[in-house]
Amino acid sequence: MNEKLHRLIWMSLLIFAVFDTNAADKVTVRINNQTISAWRAADLESAKKEAAAQHKPIAWVGSELRLLDGEGKISTNGGRGATLHALYALHDQTILVFEDGPTENHKVLKFVDDAIHKPKDQWVAPIVIFLNPSITKVLATVTFEPDFVKRAHALADGLNQAKEKMKSETD
């Protein structure tokens, strides 16, 4: 009996180790009964490949990992609601990249970091930077907006700007 328990514990630890290895590549959250995944800022090559294959812009969401704890609604006014709203609204039409501001701020691509910190050096989470699939150009920026309706319009406008700029580059 003791040997079976030890074997079960070791198998469980092995499963968790495999999960942790994959967890570094993507962050996953459940919003409105949908599982939404975003590439981590550390794995840009995978995001670039997926964006190029699907001909979609990248939506770089700068926020805080602690806000993705399964609590909150997309309609709430704070950073948690705005982060969830951005991920939910953009997950089908973009390739999502998630930057955890407290741990990855100033450790990402310089031009993305510059876009995050304009017009103010201190930003409020979340901020969404739309990028071309090769991650060489900022196409649009959406800063924190506490009001749900205004935020929805800002996200839609940013996505439309990004798509138009991508379309004009291919014409």
First-to-last alpha carbon distance for the chain, in angstroms, is: 69
What is the chain's mean pLDDT, rounded?
A: 83
Q: Is the peptide bond before 146 cis (omega within 30 degrees of 0)?
A: no
Q: Is the predicted pLDDT of residue 122 greater than 60, yes or no?
A: yes
Whole-angstrom Cα distance, residue 162 to residue 139? 5
pLDDT of amino acid 107:
74
Distances 154 to 1, 12, 79, 96, 104 between C-alpha atoms, Å: 60, 44, 15, 17, 25
Higher pLDDT, 120 or 40: 40
For residues 92-110, give the mean pLDDT. Answer: 85
Instruction: Choose between 38 and 16: higher pLDDT.
Output: 38
- 63-100 burial: b if 16+ Cβ within 10 Å, else e: bbbebbeeebebeeeebbbbbbbbbbbbbeebbbbbbb
pLDDT, average across residues 49-76: 92
Does the pLDDT value for residue 15 go beyond 60? no
Of residues 40 and 6, the one with the higher pLDDT is 40
Q: What is 26-170's CATH number?
A: 3.40.30.10
Which positions ≥6 away from 109 have C-beta within 8 Å? 44, 135
Phi-psi region of 36 (alpha: psi -120 to 50; beta: other; left: phi over 0): beta
23 pLDDT tier (thresholds 50, 70, 90): very low
